[in-house]
Amino acid sequence: MSMIAVLVVAASPAAPQSFGDFAAGVLGEMTRSRPAARRAPAVVRSDTMWLVIASRENAQEAVALGESYAATLGPTLVIQSRNGRYAVAAGTLGREKAKANIEALKALHLVPQDSFLSEGRNLDRVVWHSLDDPSALDLMGRSAYRQSVRRLQASFSRLGFYDGPVDGLIGPTTSEAFDRFARRFGPPAGEAIDGAALAAIEGTAADGFRDDAERSLARARGFQDAASFAEAESGGFPSALAFSEARSRGFRTMGDFDEARAGGFRDGDEYVRARAGGFASAAALEAATRIGVDTASDYRAFQASGFTEADDWKAARRKGFTDRAAFETAEAERLKAAQREARTLIGDADAFLRLNPRTPGLLAVAAEVATVTGAMNAGSADTLSAATLRLRAALAPSGGFAAFEEARRTERVAEEVRRVAALRAELEARQAALSGWIAANLTSPKLPDLVAELTLLEGDLKGGDGDVLAAARERIASLVARLGLDAELALLAAKDAPVPAAPSAGGGLGAAVAVTPANAGLLQGPGEDVVVLANGGPHAPSLTRNLLGAFVFATGKASICTLGVPREPALRRALSEELAGFGARQVDLGDCTAAEAASRDLLLLRRSAFLVSPPTLAAPVLEAMEAGTLQVFEPMAYAALASREAAETALVAAITADLATGSREGYGALIPEEGGGAVCAAVASEREAHREVLDRLARFVAGETGALPPVRFLDADAAFQAARQHDCRALYASAEDLKSLTAAMGRDGLPASIAPLWLDRAALDGAVAALAAERQATTKAAESRRLQAESERAEAERTARNAAGSREAQETALRKRYGTEAAALLNTYSEALKALVLGHPPVILAGRDGAGPAMGELFPEFARWQGTLAPDDWKPIAVDVAIADYGVARWHDRTMEAIALETRVQIVSRERGEYREACFLQAMIVDGEFQMHRDPVEAPCGPEGAKRIADWSLGHELESRWVAAR
């Protein structure tokens, strides 16, 4: 006889009065069989409840499970229930705090989450226990349990999650500490914490690692604690050695450490200082430090400045100069000005002293003149200015020198004014003469030199400095002589005035205006050329330049007008393709009128049309070109547009001709003149093979509408009917169907044009073959997975077959015995569910007053689902209701019938061409005495739904008369 059998026989008193008495008697017999020193068991008090950890089908499993909790909870009991299953009880809890205690135990994972409290009414007899002392029935008083809680509290305290006493008492503080631990390190594996899990938690508290895998990984890399490992991981360090070396040198990330080593930096401080200054290497930092600069930009500025000494560079920078050449030029100008002032002062002093030889302090003045003369050759503006200032101070005591100097200054100013005026007049005459020559010789190779010189002259004339103007006169004279233009300029000067161009026969302004550099691109050239002008003014609706200077359409829409350019659909599409690179997703085309020209992004002007355009259009355009707000749009030449148009026109012509002769195979598209909505595709099969060309067609259509249309798959006749209703923006079909559609559209007066795209037969066959290969590969992989799953399932079925045989026999017996009662309930609810789903007159369930609730009131979620079918184009066609479980349940200390149903609904959608099946689980308690339906529950089929029904059954202590216990 097995140990379990021995225990069962030994623990069977003759006539227990209650479960508490029964348990006390069993424990008494066990205690008497042990040494006499142990105390007799105490009777379990009626103010306690049993904590049931789990239930098992056989005693061996229950005993093994009970023994597994010895390390954390202490002794356990295995008690056979009246339904034949074996309950594993952890002990008893005081009724007053039982609910709070079990919730705390679950929160700490010391017991499984499905543990429950029991009064013990359904428990029959103790078959096994590990109690040494009857007092150990009180779980809260056990030393093993208290020690487990203390170990958890100590671990959580060490991790900083718990700041309460380590006393083995559970409460909200301990539960919250466990939650923080679980969020940080993850919950322990398994239904409840066992000895290994408790030890793992203590290990985590000791070194901070989440689990053994992380601990092993860290120690393999040389780390002994989680804090260092985590810090190293976040810094990207591969080992403790690298981490320790980097930290000792002041680095926190491996990237910084590697970068610092590559740059030759000795420590973190030097690297941080270098990085703050923008230095990439220690050598550059050291070189910069030697010259006294802190940033790489300053060091680069010094290197680029041309200075060889840092002090000279710093002195220049303090004066606002960044390079040596500019500084030296400015210094030369300062020296030149100082020399001019010195020479002027010496000249004034010389003239004054000759007129006043008895001037006091003559020797001192002579000495200062000698000093100034010497300083003029020293090359220092500051030294010369200081010497000049001292000379002026030496002359100051003479009362008449100040008046004499002022008179001389006034004379020089007047002379300079006359000189500047003469130079300006001469240079302006030269400017006009050279501009006239340029206008008459636009193709001359001498033009670039003259244009560059006139650009410099324009700047010189704005300044007005006499020396600058004199230098400009010499420069221009040299250039004219070098280019040999003296004779031609003299001939132009002899002409009284230029002869204006005669106005065009059409009365337009464009052909009668003078050609300037700004408008030459529009006015000069073949008449058939089309010039593209870009609007750079404030009224451009979308065109602008980004930070890099590139043209972009800020709103995504390009507003364009044309003059003398036919606005064919091909032009719009060519513009869309050309301007897509500038961010334009839509093109708006219109006429170029006087009112529109300034408010368009681009102007497409045929030169011959512009030259005869009315002044109201031409004048604003030319004025805007002179102002620079309109200029030739260099990034896009009209020739590219014309080339695209020609290619598209040729393709459309070829497709049209081939369709007429039937020589073209494949798929193309037809664009109705009026239409909207979707791209209507007459594709019967292998639709995915057409996806790429359909996407191109959708983008092609979106270029005009600005919105990407959806694709609808129809047959050719349905597509034609949709086009007649203007519901198709494009028609996509095979060559044969396209020919028929073209004829039908023409017959019904629906203008349409062939789209410039085609999917030929070879490309289609290639796409179909690629899809087939992809599907074959997918099918092969799926079949491989299926065979593997079948093998695993067959093995599982063989393993479970023996156990299933006995359970099936039990279920057969149960269903034979209770089948009549269950079938009666099934028939009632089956008809009610079918009526609800199929729209038949509702079946009213019996109630106390002869009329109870309809099925939809009992199961509102099922009713709501049924209500969504019609709006989604689904229709129910069949309902199958089967018994999932049947038995008796408890409701408020009363026993009554309960039934669980599995309802499967077949639905169909003609729109989708598809069948589906929906499955639901429903259960309720049938109160025959009061003719009521108690606690109905419902859920979709599946693991979650099954768990919900199982929880409902457990809560109502369902004793199944249909399903054998598992």
Q: With bands split at pLDDT 50, 70 and 90, how would you rate the model's confidence at 44?
A: very low
Is residue 598 within 8 Å of residue 535, measured between CB atoms? yes
Helix, coil or strand: residue 376 = helix
- Residues in Cβ contact with 53 at an 8 Å cutoff, skipping those fewer than 6 apart: 65, 66, 69, 76, 88, 89, 90, 111, 112, 115, 192
Helix, coil or strand: residue 727 = coil
- 137-151, 560-574, 840-854 — which one is most confidently predicted on average? 137-151
In whole angstroms, give the CA distance from residue 668 to residue 653.
13
688-714 average pLDDT score: 80
* pLDDT of res. 923: 95
Query: Which DSSP symbol is given to 141?
Result: G
619-628 average pLDDT score: 83
At residue 63's C-alpha, the angle toward residues 28 and 141, to 5°, is 55
Per-residue pLDDT reduced to its tens digit, 290-348: 777 778 777 777 777 777 677 777 777 777 777 777 877 887 788 888 888 888 888 88
Helix, coil or strand: residue 636 = coil
* pLDDT of res. 17: 38
- Averaged pLDDT of the chain: 80
Is 803-960 CATH 3.10.450?
A: yes
Instruction: Write phi, then psi, for 858 (nearest 5 degrees).
Output: -75, -40
216-220 average pLDDT score: 77
Q: With bands split at pLDDT 50, 70 and 90, how would you rate the model's confidence at 356?
A: confident
Is residue 745 within 8 Å of residue 695, measured between CB atoms? no
What's the half-sphere exposure (Cβ side, CA atoms, 13 Å) at 3?
6
* Helix pair angle (59-68, 3-10), 10° resolution: 90
Q: Which residues pair with 588 in a beta bridge?
A: 559
* pLDDT of res. 491: 61
* pLDDT of res. 500: 37
Is residue 630 within 8 Å of residue 536, measured between CB atoms? yes
* Helix pair angle (381-395, 324-355), 10° resolution: 20
Range from 35-39, 427-431, 757-761 carrying the lowest mean pLDDT: 35-39
* pLDDT of res. 105: 92
Q: Which residues pair with 888 in a beta bridge?
A: 897, 959
Q: With bands split at pLDDT 50, 70 and 90, how would you rate the model's confidence at 448?
A: confident
What's the CATH number for 643-768? Answer: 3.40.190
Range from 256-270, 465-479, 575-589 carrying the lowest mean pLDDT: 256-270
* pLDDT of res. 26: 46
39-43 average pLDDT score: 45
What is the Rg, in whole angstroms, of the alpha carbon atoms belonging to the chain? 51
The length of the chain, given as a count of residues: 966
Per-residue pLDDT reduced to its tens digit, 51-106: 999 999 999 999 999 998 988 888 999 999 998 899 999 999 999 999 999 999 99
In whole angstroms, give the CA distance from residue 549 to residue 555.
17
In whole angstroms, give the CA distance from residue 500 to residue 836.
96
* pLDDT of res. 906: 94
- 136-140, 638-642, 951-955 — which one is most confidently predicted on average? 951-955
Helix, coil or strand: residue 885 = strand
More confident residue, 765 or 75: 75
Using alpha carbons, select from 25, 52, 26, 15 the residue that is nearest to residue 128: 26
Using alpha carbons, select from 85, 296, 59 the residue that is nearest to residue 810: 85
Per-residue pLDDT reduced to its tens digit, 891-931: 888 889 999 999 999 999 888 888 999 999 999 999 888 88
Place of tokens 């209703």: 725
In whole angstroms, give the CA distance from residue 312 to residue 521.
50
- Residue 821 clears pLDDT 70, i.e. is over it: yes
Report H helices in 583-726: 607-611, 615-627, 638-661, 691-705, 716-724
* pLDDT of res. 494: 53
* pLDDT of res. 941: 94
* pLDDT of res. 966: 59
- Residue 22 clears pLDDT 70, i.e. is over it: no
* pLDDT of res. 155: 86
229-249 average pLDDT score: 76
Place of tokens 């289609």: 764
Per-residue pLDDT reduced to its tens digit, 406-426: 877 887 787 778 888 888 888
Using alpha carbons, select from 844, 822, 819 the residue that is nearest to residue 831: 844
Per-residue pLDDT reduced to its tens digit, 287-299: 777 777 778 777 7
575-596 average pLDDT score: 84
874-881 average pLDDT score: 92
- Residue 851 clears pLDDT 60, i.e. is over it: no
Q: How many CB atoms lie within 10 A of CB 38?
A: 13
CA dihedral (374, 378, 381, 382) positive or negative: negative
- Residues in Cβ contact with 159 at an 8 Å cutoff, skipping those fewer than 6 apart: 181, 184, 204, 205, 208
- Residue 499 clears pLDDT 70, i.e. is over it: no
* pLDDT of res. 888: 92
